[in-house]
Amino acid sequence: RQSNLASSLHNLDGRSYGNLKQIRGRYTFGPVTVFIDRVQADPFASPSKVRVRVDRADAKFPLDLTTDRADRIAAADYLLRAGNEVLAKLDQRALILGRPGQEILERTNILIDDAGFEARLLVNLPARGRRILGHQAADILTRDLPEFAERLFLFDRWSDAPAGRGGNTPAPSAKGLADHVQLHRDQLELRSHLSEAGLIGFVGNGAILPRKSGDSDLPMKSSDAVVFTSPPELEHTVELSSGRTVTGMGIPRGVTVIVGGGYHGKSTILRALERGVYPHIADDGREWVISDPTATSIRAEDGRAVTGDDISAFINNLPSGSDTRFFSTTNASGSTSQAANLVEAIEAGANTLLIDEDTSATNFMIRDERMRALIPAEREPITPFVDRVRPLLTEQGVSTVLVAGGSSAFFEVADLVIALDAYVPADVTARARELVGVEDGAEPSVEASDAVFAAAPARVPTAGALRPSSKTKSAKAKGLDTVQFGRSFIDLAALSQLIDGQQTGAIAEALEYLAEIFDGKTSITEALAEIDAMLDAQGIDGITGHRAHPGHLARPRTQEIAAALNRFRGLRLVD
Ligand code: ADP
Ligand code: MG
């Protein structure tokens, strides 16, 4: 029906915009199938949705790069980046494929399945005033869109320029694709090796951790950055099955404290570990920064709402008399918000916590001896984190990496102390322990006490907990940091590991999905596991109920889905 679409569009030229609706449907252009799934109602409405698809038999992609599930994520990421270059070459700005950042995320933008390859685009169909610009629309949809699909999805048409120097082969290229998929494989293999080796984080020698600027995720110019080098004591070398050898600093399970003077790079290293839950593209500088995928940043976030958290391990005997085993507030303090963030992270499956002094409530973290003497324990509701970090490890198996430049309080409880001096790390564990009088080789101290992290009672939302009051379409992402849910807004600005607006979009869908699961019996933990299993089985399309065109979404971690749920001010629990 190719001539069909072109001639319809030419005929529609100059007619009122609403008539565009009739072009919805499916059209064939040689090997390319174009689906026009949704047509915007007017020129200012959100863009129309179109897909292009090429069958495997025509695409002729190497099967070994596009079959395994993880390979498909990497290959789709490559095709997304290459697709943007193709669009730039076609100089076609009306077609929007979506732009990735420095990470490789599972996304809906490009779909690779057993049958073929599909790109999901948004398109602003052109108008003058409220009149259709039919000839231009025909150029976009019947010339450039199929041409885009052919250049991207017909492997035989790819340039195969000789192996690029430093990844500069023009995309798409067979070598570019193969390298991209292989890097991703190697990163995943290293990650699974780390967990077997008892490491919760790894920073490769040669890594460039600092970014170009506070508002850019691109690497600092290598001439300005001090490249990372592991202290010899912490160095690990891993030989990957591809033949690649990676050497760098391994951070073992346990309590690790990062110290050093101000501006010596402490937060930068922690931030790199925070991002290390995601794989990074070549030349990012963090390709070999790999963390426990459940690692979660914990910070103070005063003002947030908390619903029914058991924060009693940290906070007790509040002057208000509230029960901190089932703590709710519409306006948490610095310390209570940090405690809530911590127990919620554990509820959502975090095995590693990342904490920076810069974003922590001091009274949550430590209390010094004189203050302990002045304020009797029963008048102080907070048991500081320094007293809980060991039980967290021994009772819950949760490791901590903590930046603390201002206090030696954590030396006694640390398994490892890393000092940064002008961005160069050193293992200073022995010296730090000596300073606080812990004998060499002794286990870090904990006051013997009963278990402080009694099995937290499961939190079970009520059946209607996620039914927003308004009747309008329920959940919607508003940029990276906000989800609108019914009439309320969920503020996600404190989630440093929510990194892409498409993840926020998927979180909005996840909340709607959760609304269906919660029946007054299912706990938050069970519901999150259900979503995760569904995403593993069906991909992100599954969370939208497999709409033909799901929009541009990216897979968030369970931790960030949970974080959004926990910040919803309308959350209600069964008591
Ligand atoms: P700290 O937390 O120790 O005070 P930061 O991590 O905030 O220090 O780093 C201070 C500054 O140094 C930042 O501007 C950061 O970009 C820069 N920086 C961090 N690591 C490096 C490095 N390896 N090479 C060059 N500059 C760096
Ligand atoms: Mg800092």
Q: How far is the CA of 263 from the centre of ligand 1 (A)?
A: 6
- In angstroms and rounded to an integer, the radius of gyration of the C-alpha atoms of the chain is 26
CA distances from 82 to 153, 160, 178, 233 (A): 10, 14, 13, 41
- 3-state DSSP assignment of residue 549: coil
Buried b (16+ CB within 10 A) or exposed e, 281-304: beebbbbbbbbbbbbbbbbbbeeb
Q: How far is the CA of 530 from the centre of ligand 1 (A)?
A: 40
Q: What is the ipTM of this complex?
A: 0.99
In sequence order, what E strands does 337-494 have?
352-356, 399-403, 416-421, 424-427, 475-478, 482-485, 488-491
CA distances from 331 to 302, 305, 365, 378, 481 (A): 7, 5, 20, 24, 19
Token pair 């099955």 is found at 241
In a domain, 282, yes or no: no
In a domain, 537, yes or no: yes
Domain boundary among 143, 174, 205: 174
pLDDT digits (tens, 9 = 90+) for 465-494: 887 655 555 899 999 999 999 889 999 999
Rounded Cα–Cα distance for residues 295 and 251 (Å): 13
Q: How far is the CA of 356 from the centre of ligand 2 (A)?
A: 7
pLDDT at residue 442 in the model: 72
Three-state SS letters, 243-301: CCEEEEEEEECCEEEEEECCCCCHHHHHHHHHHCCCCECCCCCCCCEEECCCCEECCCC
Counting ligands in written order, the one closest to the CA of 258 is: 1
Residue located nearest, by CA, to atom 16 of ligand 1: 210
Q: How far is the CA of 414 from the centre of ligand 2 (A)?
A: 19
Which atom of ligand 1 is nearest to 262's Cα? 4
Residue located nearest, by CA, to atom 20 of ligand 1: 265
Counting ligands in written order, the one closest to the CA of 266 is: 1
Rounded Cα–Cα distance for residues 316 and 136 (Å): 67
Domain that holds residue 170: 2-174
**Pairing state between β 95-96 and 116-123:** antiparallel
Counting ligands in written order, the one closest to the CA of 360 is: 2
Residue located nearest, by CA, to atom 5 of ligand 1: 265
Which atom of ligand 1 is nearest to 211's Cα? 16
Based on the structure, what is the number of domains in the chain?
2
Q: How far is the CA of 310 from the centre of ligand 2 (A)?
A: 29
In a domain, 348, yes or no: no
Which atom of ligand 1 is nearest to 227's Cα? 23
Domain boundary among 174, 194, 211: 174
Sign, CA dihedral 553-556-560-566, equals positive
Rounded Cα–Cα distance for residues 212 and 222 (Å): 10
CA distances from 432 to 233, 262, 368, 409, 412 (A): 15, 18, 17, 10, 8
pLDDT digits (tens, 9 = 90+) for 189-246: 999 999 999 999 999 999 999 999 999 999 999 999 999 999 999 999 999 999 999 9
Counting ligands in written order, the one closest to the CA of 355 is: 2
In sequence order, what E strands does 65-163 have?
95-96, 110-112, 116-123, 127-128, 131-132
- 3-state DSSP assignment of residue 32: strand
Q: How far is the CA of 301 from the centre of ligand 2 (A)?
A: 17
Judge whether 468 and 487 are in contact, CB under 8 Å: yes
Q: How far is the CA of 27 from the centre of ligand 2 (A)?
A: 55
Which atom of ligand 1 is nearest to 270's Cα? 6
Counting ligands in written order, the one closest to the CA of 261 is: 1
Residue located nearest, by CA, to atom 26 of ligand 1: 225
Which atom of ligand 1 is nearest to 405's Cα? 3
Residue located nearest, by CA, to atom 23 of ligand 1: 226
Banded model confidence at residue 166, pLDDT cuts 50, 70, 90: very low
Phi and psi at 431, nearest 5°, equal -65, -40
Whether pLDDT at 443 is above 80 = no
Rounded Cα–Cα distance for residues 165 and 161 (Å): 11
Q: How far is the CA of 217 from the centre of ligand 2 (A)?
A: 17
In a domain, 222, yes or no: no
Question: Which region, left, alpha or beta, applies to residue 515 given φ > 0 means left and ψ of -120 to 50 means alpha?
Answer: alpha
pLDDT at residue 455 in the model: 77
Rounded Cα–Cα distance for residues 484 and 380 (Å): 38
CA distances from 173 to 79, 144, 147, 281, 283 (A): 10, 20, 17, 16, 17
Which atom of ligand 1 is nearest to 358's Cα? 2
Counting ligands in written order, the one closest to the CA of 262 is: 1
Rounded Cα–Cα distance for residues 290 and 286 (Å): 8
Task: Give percent of the chain with pLDDT exceeding 70.
Answer: 95
pLDDT digits (tens, 9 = 90+) for 10-51: 999 999 999 999 999 999 999 999 999 999 999 999 999 999
Residue located nearest, by CA, to atom 19 of ligand 1: 265
* Ligand 1, CB within 6 Å, residue ranges: 209-210, 220, 225-226, 260, 262-268, 423
- 3-state DSSP assignment of residue 48: strand
In a domain, 379, yes or no: no
Counting ligands in written order, the one closest to the CA of 264 is: 1
In a domain, 113, yes or no: yes
Q: How far is the CA of 416 from the centre of ligand 2 (A)?
A: 19
Q: How far is the CA of 362 from the centre of ligand 2 (A)?
A: 14
Rounded Cα–Cα distance for residues 129 and 143 (Å): 24
In a domain, 543, yes or no: yes
Rounded Cα–Cα distance for residues 167 and 412 (Å): 47
Q: How far is the CA of 492 from the centre of ligand 1 (A)?
A: 25
In a domain, 127, yes or no: yes
pLDDT at residue 487 in the model: 87
Whether pLDDT at 446 is above 80 = no
Q: Which of 268, 269, 401, 424 to mutate to test the pocket of ligand 1 (most atoms within 8 A of CB)?
A: 268
Closest residue by Cα to residue 353 from 289, 295, 299 = 295
Rounded Cα–Cα distance for residues 66 and 207 (Å): 29
Domain boundary among 133, 150, 174: 174
Q: How far is the CA of 563 from the centre of ligand 2 (A)?
A: 24
Which atom of ligand 1 is nearest to 260's Cα? 3
Whether pLDDT at 2 is above 50 = yes
- 3-state DSSP assignment of residue 21: helix
Comparing 125-139, 334-348, 352-366, 368-382, which segment has the lowest mean pLDDT? 368-382
Residue located nearest, by CA, to atom 21 of ligand 1: 210
**Total length of the chain:** 575
Which atom of ligand 1 is nearest to 420's Cα? 3
pLDDT at residue 471 in the model: 53
Banded model confidence at residue 170, pLDDT cuts 50, 70, 90: low
Rounded Cα–Cα distance for residues 1 and 22 (Å): 14
